[in-house]
Amino acid sequence: MVRVLHVLGGLNLGGAESRIMDLYRHMDRDQVQFDFLVHTETPGFYNDEILNLGGCIYTLPRFKVYNIASYRRAARDFFAKHHEFNVIQGHMTSTASIYLPEAARYTCDKEGERMVTVAHTRNAGVDKGVKGSIVKAMRRSLPSKADYLFACSHLAGDETFGGAAYTYIPNTIDTVKFTYNKNKGNSVRDEYGIPEDAVVIGNVARFSPQKNQKFLIRAFAETGDADSLLMLCGDGGLKSECEALAKSLNVDDRVIFTGNQKNVWEYYSAMDIFAFPSEYEGLPGVVVEAQASGLKCIMSDTITGDVMVTDRIERLPISEGESVWSARLKECTDEIRNLKKEDTEAYTVLRTRYSGMVRDAGFDVNEQAKIMMKFYLDPSDNTLPILPGE
């Protein structure tokens, strides 16, 4: 059996974590087993599931820049003790230039060959300020410190690896699971007291500056549409501030904060529009999920076009302020409201046809599981059907 160690910040409901777990569930675990190295002692959302699937979870101390020497030492001590991994896949690219070379010092016990290292970028941008500048600088050395470079989008690969060649591996989902289901959507609406004919604008993301929910709340309030609702799924440090903002704008009675939802695919079916004004992304899996559910999608123009795989998605600038988004959201809510009034069956048919488009565009996890398992079993096999980055 091949063991693959995925290096992450934590194991909560983040985009990278969710995509890796989707892949994990579809692996033939008699041949390939996933383990996880995280940077927190706090148990995450996926801990129990990982342990039930046969994976192991290990920890490193959190990197804080000033502790670079002790962080490097901790990584070295870890890999000096753990030689059971065939592949080390670092999704935490901010410090991958530290821990991947430490892993490369050692051979895998089972194979007698050096552990293969992979730097896998899932974000095109970094936070603003000194921290972001440091992260960007540390990323630039990755082409010389990893055996393979993976990117979830061409934008993420170009930004992270600074012109070095990389392999494009899009984030994938279980397209069948995210197919629009009217009954499940109505059950979610009933739970929150939402009328079936109401138009719901939705967003799924952790509450953080990157995800830009405050921008969305202000744009929603500016529509002045008393018959639409805003549903925000997720959790995070800025959630309380967003709740306070909704209250200050007098729309708190029309903004629904659901928290994290394990069955998030049912929440997409309760929405009509997906609005995603992120400051930056790699390739946001939630936008793929939303398209698979047949939602009208509006995302910021900072996000890669690689994610645009249906005719129901468009990009809007966030640099021009909330008014541009407010006007477009109002147009879309009016269009959907009229469509629902005219023919609810036609609306259902419209929504259900898009999961197949997403699958055919190469974003289905079942197919990617076959591709990645082949890589894990033999990384040197150059016949892998994975497209090289441009």
Over residues 144-156, the pLDDT tens digits come to 999 999 999 888 8
pLDDT in tens, 207-232: 999 999 999 999 999 999 999 999 99
**Beta carbons of 237 and 208 less than 8 angstroms apart:** yes
Domain assignment of residue 67, yes or no: yes
Which position has the higher pLDDT, 108 or 48? 48
Report field, pTM of the whole predicted structure over 0.75: yes
Do residues 320 and 337 share a domain? yes
What DSSP designation does 104 have? Answer: T
Backbone φ and ψ of 102, nearest 5°: -65, -40
The token pair at 46 is: 């996926």
Is the separation of the CB atoms in 298 and 328 below 8 Å?
yes
Query: Is-contact 363 172, C-beta < 8 A?
Result: yes
Residue listed under structure tokens 């309030």? 221
What domain range is 166 assigned to? 2-172+364-377
* 389 assigned to some structural domain: no
Give yes or no for residue 386 having a pLDDT over 60.
Answer: no
What's the mean pLDDT in 366-389? 77
Same domain, 371 and 352: no
348 CB burial (10 A radius; 0-12, 13-18, 19+)? middle
CATH number, domain with residue 213: 3.40.50.2000
Can you give the pLDDT at residue 130?
57
Q: Within its chain, how far is the Cα of 47 from the centroid? A: 18
Q: Are 186 and 313 part of one and the same domain?
A: yes
Give dist(CA 311, CA 149) in Å, integer. 31
Whether residues 203 and 158 share a domain: the answer is no
- Distance (Å, whole) CA 168 – CA 386: 7
pLDDT band at 14 (very low <50, low <70, confident <90, very high): confident
What does the pLDDT read at residue 196? Answer: 82
Percent of the chain with pLDDT over 70: 95
- What are the structure tokens assigned to 237, written together? 């440090």
Instruction: Give the total number of structural domains in the chain.
Output: 2
Give the Cα separation of 145 and 134 in Å (integer): 17
**Count of CA atoms in the C-beta half-sphere (13 A) of 357:** 21
What pLDDT is recorded for position 128? 67
Q: What single letter denotes the amino acid at residue 61?
A: P
pLDDT of residue 31: 97
Please tell me which residue, 14 or 205, carries the higher pLDDT value: 205
Check: CB of residue 18 under 8 Å from CB of residue 110: no
- Residue 177: inside a domain, yes or no? no
Indicate if 123 and 190 belong to the same structural domain. Answer: no
What count of Cα atoms within 13 Å lies in the side-chain half-sphere of residue 129?
Answer: 3
Q: Return the pLDDT at 139.
A: 81
Domain assignment present for residue 388? The answer is no
Cα distance from N-terminal residue to C-terminal residue, the chain: 33
If asked whether residues 188 and 334 sit together in one domain, one would say yes
Residues 26 and 155 in one domain: yes
Q: What order do you get walking across the sheet with 199-204 strand by strand?
A: 255-259, 228-233, 199-204, 273-276, 296-300, 313-316
Indicate whether 112 and 206 sit together in one domain: no
Q: Which residue has the higher pLDDT, 363 or 139?
A: 363
Amino acid 388: pLDDT: 46
Span 227-248, mean pLDDT? Answer: 97
For residues 139 and 106, membership in a common domain is answered with yes
Beta bridge partners of 274: 202, 297
- Res. 387: pLDDT tops 60: no
Tell which residue, 238, 182, 165, 177, has the closest CA to residue 207: 238
Least confident of 127-136, 172-181, 272-281: 127-136
Rounded to an integer, the average pLDDT of 357-375 is 93
Please report whether residue 382 resides in a domain: no
Whether 19 is in a domain gets the answer: yes
Predicted confidence at residue 181, as pLDDT, reads 97
For the residues 34-51, what does the mean pLDDT come to? Answer: 96
Same domain, 26 and 106: yes
Residue ranges of alpha helices (H) inside the chain are 15-25, 47-52, 68-81, 96-103, 130-139, 154-161, 182-192, 213-223, 239-248, 264-270, 285-292, 322-342, 344-352, 354-360, 365-377
Q: Sorting pLDDT into bands at 50, 70 and 90, what band is 123?
A: confident
- pLDDT, position 163: 84
Q: Are residues 159 and 233 in the same domain?
A: no
Q: Chain-wide mean pLDDT for the chain?
A: 92
Residue 385 domain-assigned?
no
Q: What percent of the chain has pLDDT over 90?
A: 79
CA triplet 235, 27, 44: central angle to 5 degrees? 25
Q: What is the DSSP string of 182-204?
A: HHHHHHHHHHHT--TTSEEEEEE
Residues 67 and 8 in one domain: yes
Residues 6+ apart with CB under 8 A from 268: 178, 180, 185, 202, 204, 274, 289, 290, 292, 293, 295
| Residue from 276, 225, 279 nearest 254 by CA | 225
270-326 confidence digits (pLDDT tens)? 999 999 999 999 889 999 999 999 999 999 999 989 899 999 999 999 999 999 999
Quick one: pLDDT at residue 89?
98
Report yes or no: 291 and 314 within 8 Å, Cβ to Cβ: no
